[in-house]
Structure 1
Amino acid sequence: MARSAPAPEALRTLRQRGSIALGTVAIVACVGMALASIVSGEPSLVLIGLMLLGAAMGWVLLVRPCVVITLHGIHLDNPIRRTVIPWSQVQDVSARWNLEVYSGDHAYPAWAIASHIERPASQGMLGFGALGRASQQDVAPAPKEGTTVGSASRLLESAMDEWRELAAEGRPEAQTGGTLTRTWQPLDIAALAVPILLVVVGILR
């Protein structure tokens, strides 16, 4: 009996532990200072806005960015922008100063890079099993956070090679289609805009 394909949701989410830790510390420190200003009895709107801006930057720049590997392609969740690249549009992956995914004539950098992720021997990167061999699990295991640029690059190359083999076999799971899309991240923009607005109001009043 043919095994069911994994859900099209994220199969791997890649981030750096160090960035998450640094961003979390920045958020806690900045929010703490903002609260201290509020309870001091003489709150400064400018100071509160600056501290909230620092917290927002910690989240937007360090905590939230990630590289998401899905059944249908790669999602590069960078600050402010998200790039979705279907496997059929991925041409190459490069590990230089940061991870870059090539599609067409452009290289799309990934702000966040994740680390060591263990793969069960019985499963391929995309969770189909070793290209057709039976597997006891239908869903790819949960990722472990943290990695280097090189290991993330090798992970994406492995997934890309597996997709190409599946596509060559005519497997319906590999028929991703679609085109590369780039969209703005409204939540990132709002998280940065609101504290800036508070600072401006505090200066002008």
Structure 2
Amino acid sequence: MTSPDRSTSPQQQYAERSYRSPAALAGGALLLLLGLWLGADAVLRGTAHTKLTAVFVLLLGVPLVVAFTLRPLVRAGEDRLTVRNPFRTITLPWSAVEELRATFSAEVLTGGGKYQLWAIPVSLRQRKKAARQADRGAGAARPRFGLQADTGPVPRAMADQALEELREIRERAAHRESAQGEPEVRWSYAVIAPSVVGAVGLAVMLAL
């Protein structure tokens, strides 16, 4: 499930849209609170060995929880698509986006690669629910006594709806000069570095 946020500025012709997973945000916040509570208790009450172990567990666990729950984001701007995944940030000018698709995961395809959209999870349960609602709507829309019922828009899963919006933005933007360019990929060392330190330190403490 994704939550789109829209904001505009005078310089933008189209509203900027951001997509995140509310379930991931809520789960990540709960995990962080639980981990910090247990870690703080171990640091305050434990032995020296326990305290060091707790510190390394936090160094390893907190960045990973943040990376996989709070960090993922998809932002559709006027000229480019920004994909923030757990360990990388990918900036794609709209001209570089060849396809947006969702099978078992949401993906964006370019001429040189394929990137998952962690912030737009695909829910097969949502798709089945939307399909059932569409079937019921189709049944209600069958003409009766010469009258056609108005059933409204066809329900869709959140991931499919989000990708359809992204495709529409791409169609409008891909040919603009300001939307030309090559993909850029940046690693998130703020997540990777403390996780590596925590993993190494935890391995050492467990070996002692």
| TM-score normalised by structure 2 residue count | 0.69
The one of 52, 76, 81 aligned to 1:74: 81
The one of 32, 37, 45 aligned to 2:37: 32
How far apart are residue 56 of structure 1 and its match?
2.1
Match in the other structure for 1:180: 183
Whether the 8 Å CA contact 2:20–2:119 is kept in 1: the answer is: yes
**Residues 74-130 of structure 1: per-residue CA shift (max 9 Å, x gap):** 111111112111011111110112211111153221111179xxxxxxxxxxxxxxx
How far apart are residue 51 of structure 1 and its match?
4.0
The one of 151, 160, 179 aligned to 2:170: 160
**What is the RMSD of the two structures over their aligned residues, measured on CA atoms?**
2.8
User: Quick check: 1:48 aligned with 2:58?
Assistant: no
Flag structure 1 segments of 5+ consecutive residues without an equivalent.
Answer: 116-146
**Alignment: residue pair count:** 164
The DSSP-based 3-state class of the residue aligned with 1:102 is: strand
User: Quick check: 1:16 aligned with 2:21?
Assistant: yes
Distance 2:189 2:10 in 1: 35
Whether the 8 Å CA contact 1:15–1:114 is kept in 2: the answer is: no
CA spacing shift, 1:95–1:25, aligned 2, 3 Å: same
The one-letter code sitting in structure 1 at the alignment partner of 2:110 is S
Percent sequence identity over aligned pairs: 23
The one of 4, 12, 25 aligned to 1:6: 12
Whether the 8 Å CA contact 1:98–1:109 is kept in 2: the answer is: yes
Flag structure 2 segments of 5+ consecutive residues without an equivalent.
Answer: 1-8, 123-156
Equivalences for residues 125-140 of structure 1 within 5 A:
none
Distance 2:54 2:107 in 1: 38
The one-letter code sitting in structure 1 at the alignment partner of 2:114 is A
Structure with the bigger percentage of helix: 2
| TM-score normalised by structure 1 residue count | 0.69
- Bigger radius of gyration among the two: 2
**Residues 160-196 of structure 1: per-residue CA shift (max 9 Å, x gap):** 12214xx3xxx6xx52222111121111112412322
**Residues 139-168 of structure 1: per-residue CA shift (max 9 Å, x gap):** xxxxxxxx832122112111112214xx3x
The one of 142, 150, 158 aligned to 1:148: 158
The DSSP-based 3-state class of the residue aligned with 2:108 is: strand
Equivalences for residues 79-158 of structure 1 within 5 A:
79-104=86-111, 106-113=113-120, 148-158=158-168
Distance 2:75 2:191 in 1: 17
Moved beyond 4 Å, runs of 4+:
none
Distance 1:16 1:34 in 2: 26
